[in-house]
Every structure is written in structure tokens, then in C-alpha cells.
Amino acid sequence: MKQIHIVSTGGITVFTELTEALARADINIESVDVEQVGDSTVMVLNVDQYDRALQCLREFQAIQVVTEDAILVKLKNKPGALAQIARRFTDAGISLRSVRFIQRDNDFALVAISTDRSEAALALVADVSLF
């Protein structure tokens, strides 16, 4: 099952608008997890029409969509936090494809990481990954 991670600062209003838009597009939400991280709301959706849902969600300006091959981690917003995670991957021989800061506040940063071995990478960062 493919997951879609959504990061927003719009709270429940954005969640409502997203679910309504998916319903109008006849896309069924099979599971959903929502977590508040600082000022951000992180949603993880499993849907019955993955590609169509991605197209539908791209219409929203107030969100960032992270597709299933990325791992979403919550790190302390301090020097060296990202370096510690990068070291885990290097030591395990896992190559990074992309690293992207999704959201930051004074205390935490949400980072999307894509690697060449997603399952092994997820195990390495289980202590800081979301969902």
C-alpha cells in the first residue's frame, strides 16, 4: 500500500479541505494518521487511487506532499542533528538520493529523506521517524 505524507500549517481546516477534495475526486481514504508537530500538522494517507490522489493534492498551495519512497523524520533543530542521521546511513552503506527540509520551528525540523534502500533506512531512523 502506497503512503502519501502531507505537511501543513493549516491545521484541521486543511485536513477537512483535503478529505473533501479527495471525496469529490471519488478517491477512497483507506487509512489516515494525523499528528501535530510544533506548528505543523503531519498527515499520512493510504488511498485506493495513489496517482490520482497525488494529482488532486497538487492543487493545494498550503501543503507539502512527500511521496511514499521518502522517510519523514523529526529532528531537534540544532547543529549536528542532521549530521548524526547522515552518519547512520553512511555507516550502514545506504546512499542518500535526496534530503529536504519540509518544515522548521524553534525546536524541531521535519526532514524528508529518500535513500536507495528504504526499508533498511527506516529501521536505522525508527527512533526519529514519524509513523
Distance between start and end Cα atoms, the chain: 14
Report pTM: 0.69
> Where do the structural domains in the chain lie, given as residue ranges?
3-67, 70-124
Closest CA to 110 of 65, 46, 69: 65
**3-67: CATH superfamily:** ACT domain (3.30.70.260)
Biggest alpha carbon distance in the chain?
A: 46
Q: Is residue 80 predicted with pLDDT exceeding 80? A: yes
**What are 26-63's pLDDT values in tens digits?**
999 999 989 888 888 899 899 999 999 999 998 898 89
Closest CA to 119 of 50, 82, 45, 69: 69
pLDDT > 70 fraction of the chain, expressed in percent and rounded: 98
3-state secondary structure (DSSP) of residue 9: coil
CATH architecture of 70-124: 2-Layer Sandwich (3.30)
d(C-alpha 44, C-alpha 84), whole Å: 25
Whether 70-124 and 3-67 are alike in CATH topology: the answer is no
